[in-house]
Structure 1
Amino acid sequence: MSSALFVALVLPLLAGVHYYVWLRTVRDTTSPGSWWRRAGTALIVLLALLLVAAPPGERALPAPLATAVGWPGFTWMAGIFYLTLALLVGEAFRPFLLRARQRRPAGDTEQGGPRTASVTGGEHASRPDSPVRASAGQHGTSRRMFVSRAVALAAGTATTAAVGYGAYTALGPPRIKHITVPLARLGPEAHGFRIALISDIHLNVLVGRSRTRQLVDLLNGTEPDLVALVGDLVEDADVADQGRAAEPLADLRAPHGAYYVTGNHEFYSGAEQWVRFVSGLGLRTLRNERVALPGFDLAGVEDASGAEHDDGPDYEAALGGRDRDRAVVLLAHQPAQVTEAARYGVDLQLSGHTHGGQLWPFTHLTALANPDVAGLSRHGDTLLYVTRGTGFWGPPVRLGADPDITVVELASPRA
């Protein structure tokens, strides 16, 4: 996104959302001039500044400072999103809570004392400075503040629970999933061939070398025949910044090796530098090409975003002129690339990119832009499997979209 577009569209939206959150969680729950109001206002402003600073800070700030800004800034992205949703839900309950607080026994006043003629009518009740009117106004303010505090507390508690659980999920080890995929043209010698599929590691200022080491150990533990990394190894970073974090990939172990294709974030970062670096770690990058393996062909194409850099997918180079009696498995970062894959008679496409939506309700909305968000689906004669990936973009939070590594076991009807 260009800087001008960000300033023109995103900043006003963020300012409006933060103002709404301040109204409901600070102004409506505290007294004017109180220490709590000043502290709450300062906290909202600080979090807003950290949120805006975190994305550019990944590349512009020294690593320790980028990490210090990134943790609260990126986490607050999820925090303000869910807090805003929770407060909006609270708006529906606010009128009922206010009316409930106004109800009192028929024989009582707002203060709990007996009703008398002197306080329900007459000249004193009609005077603007009447104690009765003042008391009613004070209690009205008290009711509103009580309800505001109750709604803010409930919204804050729900948000903390959602973001906390989501961070635990995102930063914890991914699930190991197993799926068996029959391919009609698969040679009998490839029956039971196991591909360990991983995607969207997204190395960044929040996760680094230790995370890669954890993932490599998990991949090796599945004892695959081949490892496939289908893009977005990094999140908008140069090799100079995140190369060391990727180094444990050199320890991947599989009889038929480890293969890699680019994702959109590699092109945001400079794909050439990462292709060279990953090749130096022992992974083979499939750049619009294919290789013959026992019983099937393995092909890989560049990410679709590479077209903007004159380095996009070339399906003819990767899939044209092949033996149509052999099955072909295609590595392509984005599920949407299955449209071209189907045209070329691909048996199985393995993809990532979606993160499974990463954050509810985007777990459902992501389906609007992708032929599939996660799991196995059929598109014509082509099967598509989409992994939710192991990393995250932006907030270190996953809610409703657990990270995963998938072991895809190929099955031949001729075995």
Structure 2
Amino acid sequence: MTGGPLLVDAFGAAWSLDVDGLGEPMAGRVRALWTRAASGPAPEGEVRPYVVGRADGLLSLAGVPHRASDAELPYLLSRALTMASIHRRTGQCLLLHAAGVSAPDGATVALVAASGTGKTTAARVLGAHLGYVSDETVAVEDDLTVRPWAKPLSVLHDPTDPFDKTESGPDELGLVRAPAELHLAALVLLSRDPAAQASRLERVPLVEALAEVVPQTSALLRLEHPMEAVCSALTAGGGPWRLHYAEIAECVELVRGLAEGRGADEEPVAWACERGDEPALLEDDDAPPSPPSPPSPPVTVEGWTGQGPVCRTSFQHAVHAQGSSLVIRAQVPSVLPGLASTVWRALEEPRGLDELVERAVAEHGPHPDADGILTATVSALVASGHVEPVGADRP
């Protein structure tokens, strides 16, 4: 007796998940774990087969053999199906490493954090009160529509072993079912501190938030307008926001408030994006991912003395907001605060010290040692590889 394939919608990537080849009771266990993900509205677009079974004594996931036990299979499947779905949706939407919960009207709060730092716990605890959207991947479309990923929740047991996880279905855990139509209400950076006296939401500068969120995305630079997408998500609902807490159970009303528009009256953050001339370093869609190339080495100089003009080095993307900048070179983001941002923005064309001092004074006010401060700032930007003297030879 077989149960037949499950039609699973993974944040916009549809799969026909066939586990009959596992045999009972394992096939029944997997079906129970994936019931929620397979019980939503019929997904749109192409439905691809995903067959799980056994071959030559090994587990087989979509034709790929794995030497794993039955106890390891649920997490292995969850991880493999998530990665396959990310591959399918790459370049189509913003993919955040985040948990997600929603209000009854579909207003969704995405909770961003690095792996192993509280996303699944947040999804499990908050999902008992708000709709469960995902415990690890929140997909956001250009119009801030959110795609659900109601997968089993992966609970880490041994922090030193990222694969020592067990799976529990959202129905088994009694998590609230999210509505079919979701939209992003706010994006929150999770900041757990066991010593925190009280939970609180803090509005944070956009560039600070970007520096944390950009590494918690998948294939961000494959998007046509990557920085615009992530800035729009971060500033939704009056953000960016950071949630400080000791126990996530104390944060239900804070998160609910964001879903219900708590930050709607906040003054919106003004931001601007620039696209540079550095290639996006895209991988071949059929090739395994490789580590990003390091940025170009800085020019070797004995400090910049203020003689001669300087210019920017190549970059991919930049975002400017609230007097700071985030500059991405070779897929590596760097924060340029205050005066460093002023200088870098001024160098959209080569300039000498006098022009840079004039721009800095206009933005920050006069200073008796403006020449010395600007010389030191440019020297630091040269040392970091963001700026170079015009005509400099690289090693």
Higher strand share: 2
Higher helix share: 1
TM-score by length of 2: 0.26
Higher CA-based Rg: 1
Pick 1 or 2: higher relative contact order, CA cutoff 8 A, min separation 6: 1
